[in-house]
Amino acid sequence: METIGIIGGLGPEATVDYYKEMIGLVAQKNGEESLNYPEIIVYSVNMETFIGRLRKKDYSGAAGYIAGCINKLAAAGATFAAISANTPHLLFNEIQKNVSIPLVSIVETCRIRAEQLGVKRCGLLGTEFTMNASFYADEFAQSNIEVVSPEKVDIERINELLFTEMEHGIFKERSKSEILEIVGKMIEKQKIDAVILGCTEFPILFRDKQYLGIPFLNTTRIHVEAIIERSLDK
């Protein structure tokens, strides 16, 4: 097995979910009695440092911070790495150019899964940085899949729920219902046929594969499957 490096802390709840998903998937593949778990190195970054630089539009500084943390994972023995958050993938290419080990992209792996499902128009939920950026749309265009974001007022509300609740480990059924109302509007007005859970806190709140009759793409689970597949292939 290769040694997996994980950039965590963006946020902590998602990092814990990644670890549990990785261990659970390996147990599923090897058998529940097996103790043959992969070697995993987790570097939990300072979210305020990263998000603060994004808010100041210091994209080079934000990318450099994450790249520096990944190089620390490499120095500790990781042979490849993954970032357990969607928002840093806004800077994925710049980060990859400045690290010494390969990265597994959450956006690319999600595109491949969306193509396998045969969806054509995905609604994107995430932080305001993710929903207002084009990195998901650009990647999915390679598979002729459209990606659309909610209306501006809904982007602001989703971002507020993320940073006042979910990033602090607070997951409310009321907030889940509110987000589903937004998705319902996107189905009606924007004709989406799938949802990208483009923040790795969302899969903690939305555990089912489908809601409102359309698939919800669990970026955490999809990413973890690719990470473990790469690890076991070696």
Integer Cα distance of 117 and 88 in angstroms = 25
Pick the CATH number of 107-218 from 3.40.50.2300, 3.40.109.10, 3.50.50.60, 3.40.50.1860: 3.40.50.1860
Q: Per-residue pLDDT tens for 43-71?
A: 999 999 999 999 999 999 999 999 999 99
| 189: its two tokens | 């007005």
Same fold, 4-105+222-233 and 107-218: yes
The structural architecture, per CATH, of the domain 4-105+222-233 is 3-Layer(aba) Sandwich (3.40)
Q: How sure is the predictor about 234, in pLDDT bands with cuts at 50, 70 and 90? A: low
Strands 4-8 and 40-44: parallel
Strands 210-211 and 214-218: antiparallel
Cβ of 111: how many Cβ atoms within 10 Å?
Answer: 23
Residue ranges of domains in the chain: 4-105+222-233, 107-218
Strands 146-148 and 103-104: unpaired
Residue with tokens 């993710």: 130
Q: What is the pLDDT at residue 150? A: 98
206-209, Cβ contacts within 8 angstroms, sequence gap of 24 or more: 206/176
Q: Per-residue pLDDT tens for 133-186?
A: 999 999 999 999 999 999 999 999 999 999 999 999 999 999 999 999 999 999
Planar angle of CA 107, 101, 15, nearest 5 degrees: 55
Q: Provide the mean pLDDT of the chain.
A: 96
* pTM for the whole structure: 0.94
Nearest to 120 by CA among 182, 180, 190, 189: 190
Residue 106 has pLDDT above 90, yes or no: yes
Q: How sure is the predictor about 1, in pLDDT bands with cuts at 50, 70 and 90? A: confident
Residue 104 has pLDDT above 80, yes or no: yes
Q: What is the pLDDT at residue 87? A: 97
| 198: its two tokens | 């483009």
